[in-house]
A and B are shown apart, each in its own frame.
Chain A
Amino acid sequence: MIEVLHLTKRYGPVLAVDDLSFRAEPGRVTGFLGPNGAGKSTTLRALVALLHPTSGDARILGRHYGELEEPVHTVGAILEANAFHPGRTGRNHLRTIAAAGGIDDARVDQVLELVDLTAAANRRAKGYSLGMKQRLSLAGALLGDPHVLVLDEPANGLDPQGIRWLRDLLRSLAADGRTVLVSSHVLTEMAQLADDVVIIAKGRLISEARMADVLAGGGRGTRVRSPEADRLAAALGRAGIDVTATTDGALAVDAEAARVGEVAAADGIVLHELVAQAGSLEDVFLELTEGASTPS
């Protein structure tokens, strides 16, 4: 369980995080979404006591990060994908964390195996690709078998197979009852990963919801196909509903499927296809953060 309560962080005149509150529940993957510069990293760093908030609070399992007895065994975090000494091998990097957490080297080899870095374990980190560095960071986060994971953009630099692997791994960790909070600015990554989403822009909370609800909420459109498309378009137009012809001869209608069906039935128009369109997360996200963010 992660709780962020009225968190505010000000850097001089810039309000990086502005009175932000949200929760991430155990047993679920919570996606932490927002455009670049929205304040995601600042929030996550405040959560693990890497920065002092201006005001407000962030708690993990009801406690401040700094009060945790065994932080390595409680929380696994990735804050920076490339935080390694370039001359140290991947395995030795993990050994530095293991020593601090009282973890033996057998566990180091275990997590190396888990992230598929065994073959590269004794190579210096400077020779690692971005994807390998991400996996090494993840191995470090998993070393202490923590109850809570806080991951800032863990999918950056991973190839499509890597992203699918990460998704499966995080889903299985959540299924074991862990709290998983994972940030991203790439929204399509989240659609199949997150159970809940927290969307922020310009340091403020835009939306905190179940992923299913967010996806459904953006899906007001209906795709309809009829042999009498022109009549249907006219009927819908009379009902005050926007209609656009698509390239494949169907109609994209800005109304719920039930309403389109009613209008067609009233005029006795035959329908061959009537599909409620689920909105893409991209659409929903752009809609929600519109006005709060500036395109970059």
Chain B
Amino acid sequence: MSLLASELVKLRTVRTPYVLLIVSSALAAIAAAGFVGSGSVDTGELDRALSLGQAASFGNTFTAVLGILIVTNEYRHGTIMTTFLAAPRRVRVLAAKLGTAAIAGLVFGAVALLATTLVALPWLSARGHSLPLDGQALEAVGRVVISFVLTAVIAAAVGAIVQSQVGALVGWFVWILVVESLITVLSGLLFTEVGEPDPISKFLPGSSLGGIVGGEGSDFVLDGGWAILLALGYAAAFTAVGALVITRRDP
């Protein structure tokens, strides 16, 4: 617990996390304005909640950045040595950092949801729409938060594996924005040709995180519950590799 406390002090005593939180929720708010303004929410009430959840997910990009920074900042500035001096069992340090990433992800997700709701509510009520406050809406909210938490945890584990800050950030976004997109397009083309559903794309790490928020019936992501399980699997795998690397490779 003292290591978790130490990590939380580290998180709260620099500016970057606050900047990222503001940018993350601003992006979610802008996406919400876009959803509402485009008129694409003039359908059923559940879709509204889901759409807003997806709007909030735009902020998730910066949760990934924060997760990566939680580990790589320490390697970049040399403070990892001070950290390991206080906790020579490095796996415990990783556990504390992943826990911190999870807490940060929870906060980022909640704030992004709050931002989207604050933007969307006046707009929607002006048009006579309402947001449901039933089980399904709560589930949508829960999924957004879970996707933020798992994104932050996986990003922190990737940070432990790569250790170089630039390397981890570039690697993460090249993978999410370029590699996964390429794989999805190529395998989509290939299997459409054969006339079968794409069996690869939905199992990629980025798709698993995207699928958590809302992908019922999509060809490209798993349904929510399965996506959570898959993302948990990725989190476990990256954590295992991260634990191995952080223990073996000396700072």
Residues of A within 8 A of B (CB): 45, 48-52, 65-66, 68, 71-72, 75, 77, 79-80, 82-89, 92-93, 95-97, 99-102, 140
Contacts and interface: CB of A to CB of B under 8 A. Distances in A.
20 contacts: A71-B85, A77-B85, A79-B85, A82-B78, A83-B78, A83-B79, A84-B77, A84-B79, A87-B15, A88-B10, A88-B14, A95-B13, A96-B9, A96-B13, A97-B6, A97-B86, A99-B8, A100-B2, A100-B87, A101-B2
Interface residues of B, number: 27
Nearest to B2: A102
B6 A99 contact: yes
Given A85-B14, A102-B2, A50 B84 contact: yes
Which secondary structure dominates where chain B touches chain A? helix
A237 B176 CA distance: 84
B101 to A, nearest CB: 16
Contacts of B84: 49-50
Contacts of B73: 85
Identify the 6 closest CB pairs spanning chains A and B, nearest first: A83-B78, A100-B6, A100-B86, A92-B13, A99-B6, A51-B250
Contacts of A75: 85
Given A92-B13, A96-B9, A99-B5, A85 B79 contact: yes
Interface of B: 2-3, 5-6, 8-10, 13-16, 73, 77-79, 81-89, 248, 250-251
Nearest to A87: B14
A87 to B, nearest CB: 5
B3 A100 contact: yes
A145 to B, nearest CB: 14
Contact of A101 (B8, B13, B86, B248): B86
A66 B89 contact: yes
B68 to A, nearest CB: 15
Nearest to A68: B88
Nearest to B3: A100
A95 B82 contact: no
